[in-house]
Amino acid sequence: VARLLDKRLVFVTGKGGVGRSTVAMALGLVAARRGKRTIIAEVAGQERVSRVFSGEQPEHGREIEVADGLWAISIDPEHAIREYLQIQVRVKAVAELLSHSRMFQYFAAATPGMAELVTMGKVWELAQPERKVKRADRYDVVIVDAPATGHGVAIMRAPKTFADVARVGPIAHQGNRIHATITDRAITGVVAVALPEEMPVNETGLLQSQLRSALGLDIDLLVANGVYPQRFDAADAVRLAAELGEPGGLADGPARSALRAALAAHGRAASHREQIERLVALTGREAVELPFLFESEFGLSAYERLSVTLDGAL
Ligand SMILES: Nc1ncnc2c1ncn2[C@@H]1O[C@H](COP(=O)(O)OP(=O)(O)OP(=O)(O)O)[C@@H](O)[C@H]1O
Ligand SMILES: [Mg+2]
């Protein structure tokens, strides 16, 4: 696991809403603190990272420094296609003309998987020791805030899919090159994020087998996010339940509601423990646990707190 941040390309994957963006940010903070020039690449127009750090809505495709040694970019397929054409065609005016032409736009929009392909192309470009974009600096680590599971593996597989269809020519050549990078475990790492709940745990098992079969990759870091704290032991829980059952006792009025809430939280924490055990058994990996943060404002300080926990586990 210590080697995760030695990889140049790290995909943070998981089911929708489990905390992929949160973990990507926390991991970005860890990498930057360790002196790595790091960029978090958000795909599919989320722009969460730059807004959390700087409060601004950045332009698509711009690399902006959001903290010391930490950059963020929001990859938008349309912008990525234009940039790709500029690199390929070299004459900016011609590339602009081409990318703005109706024909090309229809073609790009009508080709299934095209958005995924150019997005992966951009991710690959960011991770190049010699950047293709003019005057762009290299990054030590590119952390990709990938789309939700299923789609996440599909997007990673897009370059190969295209290369197979094209067979020969520049698309096949470049598709294969990107695929070779993505499937190289010395370069590419995968973080799987799960909530300690039935469905997300099941999906993580599925994600792992898809990673293996479609890409020859595996989970490098398993994160159980939003884990409830265990505040009471079994004996406490029995006493709490007993109090609830006694009318007129300690648990009357508001105290009764508090007791119920305490017991519910206890039940949730216990079920989280069970699900984490399932997660570990299913994947054959240890899980790094990130606590559920009871914060009204989930801001930079929350990401920093999670990054400290993550740092300790890496
Ligand atoms: N450890 C945590 N404690 C409390 N709240 C959390 C924690 N992790 C994430 N959240 C909250 O859960 C929500 C979903 O998190 P996040 O946006 O990181 O997930 P995601 O997987 O990127 O979601 P999406 O599928 O929408 O991209 C957010 O409101 C976030 O603030
Ligand atoms: Mg997200």
Q: Indicate the pTM of the whole model.
A: 0.91
Q: Is 44 in the pocket of ligand 1 (CB under 6 A)?
A: no
What is the residue type of 311? D
**303 pLDDT exceeds 70?**
yes
Q: Is 302 in the pocket of ligand 1 (CB under 6 A)?
A: no
CA distance readout (Å), 35 to 39, 112, 233: 12, 39, 41
Q: Exposed, middle or buried: residue 91 (CB in 10 Å: 0-12, 13-18, 19+)?
A: exposed
Helix (H) or strand (E) holding 40: strand 38-43
Q: What are 65-123's pLDDT values in tens digits? A: 999 999 999 998 888 887 877 777 767 777 677 777 777 777 777 777 788 888 999 99
Tell which residue, 125, 22, 17, 119, has the closest CA to residue 78: 119
Contact in structure between 142 and 127 (CB atoms under 8 Å): yes
Our CA angle for 187, 190, 195, nearest 5°, is 165
Q: Angle, nearest 10°, between helix axes 151-166 and 198-210? A: 20
Q: What's the pLDDT score for residue 199?
A: 93
Question: Which residue, judged by its Cα, is nearest atom 24 of ligand 1?
Answer: 17
Q: What's the pLDDT score for residue 145?
A: 94
Ligand 1 pocket test: pick from 13, 21, 197, 225 the residue with the most ligand atoms within 8 Å of its Cβ: 21
Question: Which residue, judged by its Cα, is nearest atom 19 of ligand 1?
Answer: 19
Tracing tokens 């994020």 back to the chain, one arrives at 193
Phi, psi angles (nearest 5°) of residue 214: -85, -25
Rounded-to-integer distance, Cα 283 and Cα 116, Å: 27
**5 pLDDT exceeds 80?**
yes
Rounded-to-integer distance, Cα 162 and Cα 97, Å: 24
Rounded-to-integer distance, Cα 53 and Cα 208, Å: 31
Question: Which residue, judged by its Cα, is nearest atom 15 of ligand 1?
Answer: 19
Rounded-to-integer distance, Cα 282 and Cα 251, Å: 41
Rounded-to-integer distance, Cα 130 and Cα 137, Å: 8
C-alpha dihedral over 66, 124, 130, 39, to 10 degrees?
Answer: 10
**249 pLDDT exceeds 70?**
no
Q: How far is the CA of 19 from the centre of ligand 2 (A)?
A: 7
What is the residue type of 105? Q
**251 pLDDT exceeds 70?**
no
Phi, psi angles (nearest 5°) of residue 129: -60, -35
Q: Which residue has the higher pLDDT, 258 or 288?
A: 288
Ligand index nearest the alpha carbon of residue 195: 1
Q: What are 126-146's pLDDT values in tens digits? A: 999 999 888 889 999 999 998
Q: What are 22-76's pLDDT values in tens digits? A: 999 999 999 999 999 999 999 866 666 767 776 766 677 789 999 999 999 999 8
Q: Is 18 in the pocket of ligand 1 (CB under 6 A)?
A: yes
> Comparing 166-170, 183-187, 192-196, which segment has the lowest mean pLDDT?
166-170
Q: Is 298 in the pocket of ligand 1 (CB under 6 A)?
A: yes
Ligand 1 pocket test: pick from 74, 203, 289, 298 the residue with the most ligand atoms within 8 Å of its Cβ: 298
Question: Which residue, judged by its Cα, is nearest atom 29 of ligand 1?
Answer: 298
Phi, psi angles (nearest 5°) of residue 142: -110, 115
Q: What's the pLDDT score for residue 134?
A: 82
Ligand index nearest the alpha carbon of residue 23: 1
Q: What's the pLDDT score for residue 1?
A: 42
Indicate the SS3 state at residue 8: coil
